[in-house]
Amino acid sequence: GQSLEQPSEVTAVEGAIVQINCTYQTSGFYGLSWYQQHDGGAPTFLSYNALDGLEETGRFSSFLSRSDSYGYLLLQELQMKDSASYFCAVMIYNQGGKLIFGQGTELSVKP
Amino acid sequence: DAGVTQSPTHLIKTRGQHVTLRCSPISGHKSVSWYQQVLGQGPQFIFQYYEKEERGRGNFPDRFSARQFPNYSSELNVNALLLGDSALYLCASSLAGRTEETQYFGPGTRLLVL
């Protein structure tokens, strides 16, 4: 089967940097995605790693290491509006649009 | 451009009833996927449709069914509702449903079964 593990919650202060880790047990996955979700609203796509290494998108960066079955999302210059749940998800080969999500990490940004 | 839209936004049903949820994908997107998200958990894959054909099915009972229409909109049907079906139901669309494509989610339908 496939599973992804994330910390359930993380707390950081405004302006700081926070890293949300994701470890996975899966085979034949195409890439690792990250989504943000505010208060049960629509998950919003943040970043995607098809290859090992770092992808940077503004204040957000994501990293993937297939050999370590590990990835992370890095959020810099934290703002209060970054308080949300963050999900890692893998896209499975030959299963079209099937995304397998982690349980999510609730990020609280304090002033 | 409009994003993915879903209706209704909220719904209250009683056990044993049937429910139909609707989704309109982003214009130009031909693939629609459905996910169930229980409070405090990540979304779980239910179905994917592309060009009106079912492409994938998650581990959900036969009470769950879906279809896609010629305009690429989609319906999710759930029969014989159980209390455990209470969840946020999310629809996501992508261009052609290929593995590597980004999926864009709608705001969801929050279903409460009493």
- Taking only the tens place, the pLDDT of each residue in A71-100 is 999 999 999 999 999 999 988 766 666 889
Nearest-by-CA chain B residue for A41: B107
B103 shares contact with chain A (CB less than 8 Å): yes
Q: For residue A48, give the chain B residue with the closest CA.
A: B102
Q: How far apart are CA A43 and CA B27, in angstroms?
A: 19
Instruction: Identify the weakest region by mean pLDDT among A5-19, A86-100, B87-101.
Output: A86-100
Contact list in B for residue A103 (CB cut-off 8 A) is 40-42
Residue B24 pLDDT > 80 = yes
Report, as an integer, the average pLDDT of A25-40.
86
Residue A46's closest chain B neighbor by CA?
Answer: B102
Mutate which: B45, B88, B109, vs A, most A CBs within 10 A: B45
pLDDT one-digit tens code per residue, B25-82: 999 999 999 999 999 899 999 999 988 899 889 999 999 999 999 999 999 999 999 9
Q: How many residues does chain A have?
A: 111
CA distance A109 to A83: 5
Is residue A20 within 8 Å of A71, Cβ to Cβ? no
Give the whole-angstrom CA distance, residue B71 versus residue B65.
19
Q: Which pLDDT does position A95 carry in this prediction?
A: 62
Q: Do B90 and A43 touch (CB under 8 A)?
A: yes
Question: Kind and range of the H or E element at B26?
Answer: none
The total number of residues written for chain B in this structure:
114
At residue A3, the pLDDT reads 87
Between positions 29 and 88 of B, the ones with CB within 8 A of A are 31, 33, 35, 37, 39-45, 48, 50, 55-56, 58, 88
What confidence tier does B101 reach under pLDDT thresholds 50, 70, 90? confident
